[in-house]
Every structure is written in structure tokens, then in C-alpha cells.
Structure 1
Amino acid sequence: MTHPDDEEPDPNTTTQNYYSIEQVATRAQLTKRTLRYYEEMGLLPQAERTEGNYRRYTEEDLQRIMYIKSLRELMGFSLSEIRKFLQAEDEREQERTAFRQGADTQQKLRHLDRSDEIIREQLVLIEQKMNGLKNMQQQLYERLEMHARKRQTLQEEGS
């Protein structure tokens, strides 16, 4: 799972494609209501609007939506957890920008250190989710073992 900010923008790309809410909903396999809700919750920036006040989304918006969807589906994050994760991503992007603009080596090192700190915070969120899943998995394996013992006992009694 990659984040759109991990990709360097192509300096040769000068045109911006815009998508309607219907197009984005179809491509992301989400409802228009979900997209509006993500915007209301602050998971997405306010969409640009046409003169007719229709939302229009950029490719960057679409990539963020797909990232949110993967966090929700793949990792099982709640919207609150996703908001924390995305805030960390946004802060890390600010650090990346400041790093690129910085001329002083010490400044660059501070930006790298802060980026590492942010990544570690994100790893904690992922590790917590993974530990919860491992615990659930272990409980299910224990139930299967208990059923196998009961099955064995019943088969021995029936013989």
C-alpha cells in the first residue's frame, strides 16, 4: 500500500484533469454520500467547485480517496484512526517540503528526524491493529482446537 505523497510529481505534467463526484464515486467504488461525508469529516480537503457549484476532484484527490479506502478495507481503520493517519501523512509532507527547501544541513537533519518520528507514530497505529488481529486469530485457533478435542471425545464415546 503506497501513499500518493510517496510519488514525486512529474514536472512535465502541466495539465490538470478534473473529475465529477459521479466519476470519482464510480472509480473508487464508493457512494457520492461517502465522498461528501469524508469531506465533512476532514479526511478530504474541500473539493474545488465549478461555476455551477458542482464538486470537482483532481487526480491527487482521487489518490487520497483510494488511500483512505485501503486504510479502511485493508487495515480496518476507523474513520478516527484514518484521520490521525492522514494528519500524520500531511505533516510528513510538510516536513518533506521543508527538507527540500532547507539549505542548512542541521535543518535538514531536524526535518528527517521529525519525519522519522511521524513514521514511528504511524507504525504504532499499524502494530496495534495487527496485534488485535493476531489476538483474534489466536482465539479462533483455540476454538478449533477445543472443537477437535470435543470431536475426539465424542467419537471415542460413540465407539
Structure 2
Amino acid sequence: MNKFKIDDAARETGLTKRTIRYYEELGLIKEPERTDGGTRLYSEDDIERLKKVVLAKDILGFSLQELQDFVKLREKIQHHREDYRNSSDTSKRREELEHIAAGLSEQIFMIDKKMERMQDFRNEISQLQDKAAQLLKE
């Protein structure tokens, strides 16, 4: 598996090195491996996770708190997958799945609200553009 230094991770994700370290501090990404000299080494999975964080932040407009909630939910799902395979307690599995489903519903609701606000803003800009075009015709 390939390992990337922070410069490479920054280039691949479009983030600054400082931002990557900050996201690590916040727990948005796990602490990467380090060389004996302390150089961070990111895996391909780390790079993909950073790209997903960038997508959630830039495209969906997630705040840092929303990003943390998003990451925690993803980790919970991953952890649940591992526990699900090893657990025979169906009531516990069901309870955990219900909790995950509720978290996913919250995420979808939040995204839908953001999309509504973006559509409203787009409509407002479009109306202003139409008004400007009308004024230019006069």
C-alpha cells in the first residue's frame, strides 16, 4: 500500500498542510502513521477520507461541527459492521441499527435543508439577473 507525505496528501486533496493537521486535531481524520523521524505518512484510505471531508465541506457546506458528526457516524457504521459479524445478540444489533438509521436520517434532513436554502438563494440571484437583463433592454 502506498504511503504519502503531507505534501503529497495536500496536493491530492487540494488542502493545505495546516488544514490537514487541523482536521487531524479535530478527529476528522485519524492520526496517520509516522516515520521514526516523525514524518506523517498517509495511506490511500486517509487520502480518500480527506477527499470526502472536502466534498462534505465544500459541496454541502458542512460546518466543522457537522463534519465531526458526519465522521463519527461513519465510524459508528464501520464499527457496527465489525460488531455485527461477531455478535449473536440480535436485540443489541437492532438497537444499534436503529440508532445508526436515526443518525443517517438526521444527515439527510440537514442536507435537504441546505439544498432548499441553496435553491432559494439561486432563485433570488436568478431574479436579480432577470431584472438586470430587463434594465439593459430599456
The one of 90, 98, 122 aligned to 2:83: 98
Structure 1, gaps ≥5 residues long? 1-15
Q: Which has the larger radius of gyration?
A: 1
Q: After superposition, give the CA deviation of every residue in 1:43-86 in whole Å (9 maximum; x if it has no partner).
A: 12222211111111122211111111111222122222212211
| Mapped partners of 2:106, 2:58: distance in 1 | 20
| Mapped partners of 1:30, 1:72: distance in 2 | 12
| Mapped partners of 1:76, 1:100: distance in 2 | 35
Identity %: 30
Specify whether residues 111 and 23 from structure 1 end up closer, same or farther in structure 2 by C-alpha distance, changes over 3 A only.
same
Structure 2, gaps ≥5 residues long? none
Amino acid at match of 1:72: K
| Mapped partners of 1:61, 1:29: distance in 2 | 14
Instruction: Judge conservation of contact 1:24–1:62 (CA < 8 Å) in 2.
Output: yes
Instruction: Judge conservation of contact 1:68–1:82 (CA < 8 Å) in 2.
Output: yes
Q: After superposition, give the CA deviation of every residue in 1:23-44 in whole Å (9 maximum; x if it has no partner).
A: 2112222221221121122212
Q: Counterparts in 2 of 1:50-129, with a 5 A limit?
A: 50-129=35-114
- Normalized per residue, the structure richer in helix is 2
State the match for 2:22 in structure 1.
37
Q: Please provide the CA RMSD for this pair.
A: 2.1
Instruction: Judge conservation of contact 2:33–2:41 (CA < 8 Å) in 1.
Output: yes
State the match for 2:118 in structure 1.
133
Q: Kindly state the Cα deviation for residue 135 of structure 1 after the two structures are TM-superposed.
A: 1.5
Instruction: Judge conservation of contact 1:92–1:118 (CA < 8 Å) in 2.
Output: no
Instruction: Judge conservation of contact 1:88–1:122 (CA < 8 Å) in 2.
Output: no
Q: Kindly state the Cα deviation for residue 150 of structure 1 after the two structures are TM-superposed.
A: 4.7
Task: Give secondary structure in 2 for the equivalent of 1:43.
Answer: coil
| Mapped partners of 1:137, 1:113: distance in 2 | 36
- State TM-score, norm by structure 1: 0.74
